[in-house]
Amino acid sequence: MTTNPQMLSLGPSPARRAVLTRRVRLFVAATITYNIIEAIVAITAGTLASSTALIGFGLDSVIEVASAAAVAWQFSSSDPERRERTALRVIAISFFALAGYVTIESVRALLGSDRAEHSTVGLVLAAVSLLVMPVLSSAQRRTGRELGSASAVADSKQTLLCTYLSAVLLVGLAVNSLFGWWWADPAAALVIAAVAVKEGREAWRGDACCAPAAALRPQERERPAETLRG
């Protein structure tokens, strides 16, 4: 039996892609702006409190800015897909750099080279980031998946990792202030470093996106409607 010709769903229409691209740019701008502020506050507060965890959190924000800037660079082009691979490599390197720094600082803290003092500013910053980052990450991830952009999804994972670090920082600072359990933060941060390595490997391979449109080769996207026969 022959059915009427039907158009196969091969991803968003050009008009929808334009809307999604603008959203990605907006999310990237928001990520960069917030993380610049976060980095300045965290590094300043960490220096005053001799907190390697806070300073590390601030440097993570710098790395996050680099990741978001890579996506911004990609989507500043009229053909973002041509820049996707390069953007993914930058994001992957950002993950690896973060994992390396967190590991080194965690080991130093566990060896007792530096004990942090109480930091009210650090506690407030970690709490605010714990509220802001999941929302921003979720919105960017949904948009990236619909658009079929592996780099946008990878960057959303970088933002989500910042959420985990915020939770680790908040617990670590709170436990240290209340009970003197200084080892809690660096121990948990080592787990975050392992997650960062995993996400970095996925970004390097280009496995960050699961949107159906992303799996289509360019020639498949350009195929005309097919007649379905049964």
pLDDT of res. 125? 92
Q: What is the pLDDT of residues 98-141, one digit of tens each?
A: 888 888 888 887 886 566 678 889 899 999 999 998 998 888 88
Q: What is the pLDDT of residues 7-21, one digit of tens each?
A: 444 567 788 888 888
pLDDT of res. 110? 80
pLDDT of res. 40? 95
Residue 29 near residue 165 (C-beta atoms within 8 A): no
The pLDDT of 88-93, averaged and rounded, is 86
pLDDT of res. 212? 42
> What does DSSP assign to residue 118?
P
Residue 59 near residue 39 (C-beta atoms within 8 A): yes
pTM across the whole model: 0.69
For residue 137 the two structure tokens come to 């990450």
Q: What is the pLDDT of residues 25-61, one digit of tens each?
A: 888 888 889 989 999 999 999 888 877 778 878 888 8
Q: How far apart are CA 44 and CA 123, in angstroms?
A: 13
* Residues in CB range of 217: below 8 A, 6 or more apart: none
For residue 128 the two structure tokens come to 């605010």
* Residues in CB range of 200: below 8 A, 6 or more apart: 91, 92, 93, 94, 95, 96, 99
pLDDT of res. 163? 86
14-208 has which fold? Alpha-lytic protease prodomain-like (1.20.1510)
